[in-house]
Structure 1
Amino acid sequence: MKKKNFLTAALEPLDHCHEGTGTLRHITLFDASEFESQLRFLNYTVLPPGTSIGLHKHAQDEEVYVILEGTGTMTVDGESTPVKPGDVFVNRPWGEHGLVNDSEEELRILVFEAGF
């Protein structure tokens, strides 16, 4: 059994993620080598206030963003919407997406990516 705890994991700084604003804190909990499926990674990321994951596109993969804590604004294919804990977004292949922490508290997320 593979077990990791993202709440106690050592997070690394990630500057200007996808040309976004500021420095996020991030860890890849599992990468493709640890999956037998088409999953490529499971990431835990903390966006401090005023930071963002810049708008970007992927090719032959899908990502799922799970909002764990905090609030912000998610943009998917040109449509922006507020996010809160419990929200889940699917970013489709060749779609554009980004996430902004426009609040005064940290925004904590999990991101899964699967290829095909």
Structure 2
Amino acid sequence: MKSRYRDATPYTTKDGSEIRELMHPALHGAHHGSHLQSLAEAIVPAGASTLLHRHRRSEELYHVTAGCGVMTLGEARFEVEPGDTVAIPPGTPHRVANRGDGPLKILCCCAPPYAHDDTELLE
């Protein structure tokens, strides 16, 4: 199974980030038994942040590939930069704010796969 970045049409999620689904079972058929997951690239523009939100079912892994920002994860707040990976358990409020001059780019792995109806806005 292979997908191409240039073929992934971006869209805006409920939290306000721009997403490209790099691999999603609903689009690409990538799955193995009950172990469903998705991989996407999120882009947060300079000076912007996502809305505080949580996912009832999905666990997320964020891996920062470009830019810098501040992550809110539950009660914790900490800086993130390229090479950092953050685990976000289901039900945990989170957001990320871009504190740099360029785009903040994050690879997001969700299990089960990302779904709008699993996103609860908290603000």
Q: State the TM bucket, normalised to the shorter chain.
A: 0.7 to 0.9
Aligned-residue CA RMSD (Å): 1.9
* Structure 1 contact 63–112 (Cα < 8 Å) conserved: yes
Q: AA paired with 2:44? A: L
* Structure 2 contact 8–21 (Cα < 8 Å) conserved: no
Within the alignment, does 1:51 sit opposite 2:48 as a pair? yes
Q: AA paired with 1:31? A: H
- In structure 2, stretches of 5+ residues that fail to align are 113-123
- In structure 1, stretches of 5+ residues that fail to align are none
Q: AA paired with 2:49? A: S
* Structure 1 contact 11–25 (Cα < 8 Å) conserved: no
| Percentage of matched positions with identical amino acids | 29
Q: Which has the higher strand share?
A: 1
* Structure 2 contact 23–39 (Cα < 8 Å) conserved: yes
Task: Show CA shifts across 1:14-62 (max 9, x none).
Answer: 27x42x4xxx432111113422253331111221102222111111220
Residue equivalent to 1:35:
31
Q: How much has 1:96 moved relative to structure 2? A: 1.1
Q: AA paired with 1:29? A: L
**How many residues get paired?**
108
* Structure 1 contact 14–26 (Cα < 8 Å) conserved: yes
Q: AA paired with 2:98? A: N
Residue equivalent to 1:14:
12
- Distance verdict in 2 for CA 1:114–1:11, change over 3 Å: same
TM, length-normalised to structure 1: 0.80
Specify which of 74, 78, 83 is matched with residue 81 of structure 1: 78
SS in 1 for 2:82: coil
TM, length-normalised to structure 2: 0.76
Distance 1:9 1:101 in 2: 26
Q: AA paired with 2:61? A: V
